[in-house]
């Protein structure tokens, strides 16, 4: 692994009305996890928004974001391919389950029907065979989380941003989902930035931990 591979965050600072929320330099290799810890309201989620390119204009931010050597900082959010997962699965309620995944598949990847087939296959991979036509609202919490993960993966992201993705799951499901997520990221060689207030998440991530908002 060379130094340019993975995610490089250089001189990132985010301010709101002059108050500094985030200051960070970090290198996250492929398959590695950077955990950002902080209490709620500390502004830690703005880091993910900055990396993803959808930071609210009310914030002032600087610093460069590079992935595998190419600079993302000036790109529009949709050109960064930064997949994001929140604590809620946030499946699109107006589409069926397969539609939720098909909409994520890059547009040049074949016809409507091809994409639908790919979506069904991705569902089968996640142990959700036959759920393609279902209404997402009828799935269980764990099933929804798996669909959300498949949706992100099918969009062929270059990195993963996780915004407290486990905080709403019960203890048993949380452990299971963590393992699945990190394993998938390792397998796909994706750099991951995880934002959480749960020490157990940080421990499971087994990577560098950056703390904000404690001062």
Partner 1 sequence: MRLARIAPPLTLLVLVGPLAFGLAGTLLPAFGYLPSLGGTRFSLDAFHLLAGTPGIVRSAATSILAGLVTTLLALLCVVAFAAGHLDSPLFLRMRRLISPLLAVPHAAAAFGFAFLVAPSGLMMRLVSPWLTGLDRPPDVLIVHDPMAITMVAGLVIKEIPFLFLVMMAALPQLRHKETLQLGRCLGYGRVASFIFLLWPQIYAQMRLAVFAVLAYATSVVDVAVILGPQLPPTLPVRLIEWMNDPELQTRYLASAGALLQLVATFAALLGWLGIERIGGLLVSLPSGRGLRFRHDRPARHAALAAMALSALMVFGGIAMLGLWSLAGLWQFPKALPSAFTLDRWSAALPRILDPLVTTLWVAGISTAIAVVLTILCLERELETGRGQGGRSLMLIYLPLIVPQISFMFGLQVLAIAAGVEGTAASLVLAHLVFVLPYVFLSLSDPWRAHDRRYDAIAAGLGMSRTRALMRVRLPMLARAILTAAAVGFAVSVGQYLPTVLIGAGRLTTVTSEAVALAAGGNGRVIGVYGFLQTVLPFLAFAIATAVPNLLFRHRRGLRL
Q: Which is nearer to partner 1, 103 or 169 (CB)?
A: 103
CB of 117 to partner 1, least distance (A): 19
Cα–Cα dist 147/128, whole Å: 8
Query: Hey, is 115 helix, strand or coil?
Result: helix
Q: In terms of CB distance, is 78 or 214 closer to partner 1?
A: 78
Determine the Cα–Cα distance for residues 122 and 101; give it in Å rounded to an integer. 8
Measured from the CB of residue 50, what is the shortest distance to partner 1 in angstroms?
Answer: 12
Angle at alpha carbon of residue 91, lines to 106 and 181, rounded to 5°:
75
* Coil/strand/helix, residue 98: helix
- Closest CB to partner 1 among residues 98, 152: 152
Closer Cβ to partner 1, 53 or 211, answer by number: 53
96 CB-contact burial (10 Å; exposed 0-12 / middle 13-18 / buried 19+):
middle
Please enumerate in sequence order all residues whose Cβ is within 8 A of that of 89, keeping only pairs 6 or more positions apart, or say none: 141, 144, 145, 147, 148
For residue 144, the minimal CB distance to partner 1 (Å) is 11
Using CB under 8 A as the criterion, which residues of the chain lie in contact with partner 1 when the complex forms? Answer: 49, 52-54, 56-58, 76-84, 86, 88, 90-94, 96, 103-104, 106, 135-138, 151-152, 155-157, 161, 163
Please say which residue, 134 or 209, places its beta carbon nearer to partner 1.
134
Q: How far is the CB of 52 from partner 1 (least distance, A)?
A: 6
Q: Which single residue is written with the structure tokens 């904000």?
A: 212
Smallest distance, Å, CB 27 to partner 1?
A: 21
């Amino acid at each position: 692994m060379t130094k340019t591979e993975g995610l490089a965050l250089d001189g990132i600072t985010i301010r709101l009305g002059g108050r500094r929320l985030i200051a960070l330099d970090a290198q996250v290799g492929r398959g590695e996890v950077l955990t950002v810890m902080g209490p709620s309201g500390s502004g830690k989620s703005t880091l993910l928004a900055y990396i993803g390119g959808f930071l609210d204009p009310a914030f002032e931010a600087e610093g460069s974001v590079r992935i595998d050597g190419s600079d993302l900082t000036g790109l529009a959010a949709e050109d960064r391919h930064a997949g994001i997962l929140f604590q809620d699965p946030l499946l699109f309620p107006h589409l069926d389950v397969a539609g939720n995944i098909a909409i994520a598949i890059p547009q040049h990847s074949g016809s409507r029907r091809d994409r639908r087939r790919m979506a069904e296959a991705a569902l089968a991979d996640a142990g959700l065979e036959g759920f393609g036509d279902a209404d997402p609202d009828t799935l269980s919490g764990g099933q929804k989380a798996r669909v959300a993960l498949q949706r992100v993966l099918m969009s062929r992201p270059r990195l993963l941003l996780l915004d407290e993705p486990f905080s709403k799951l019960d203890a048993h499901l949380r452990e299971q989902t963590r393992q699945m997520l990190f394993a998938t990221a390792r397998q796909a060689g994706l750099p991951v930035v995880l934002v959480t207030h749960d020490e157990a998440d940080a421990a499971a991530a087994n990577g560098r931990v950056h703390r904000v908002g404690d001062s």
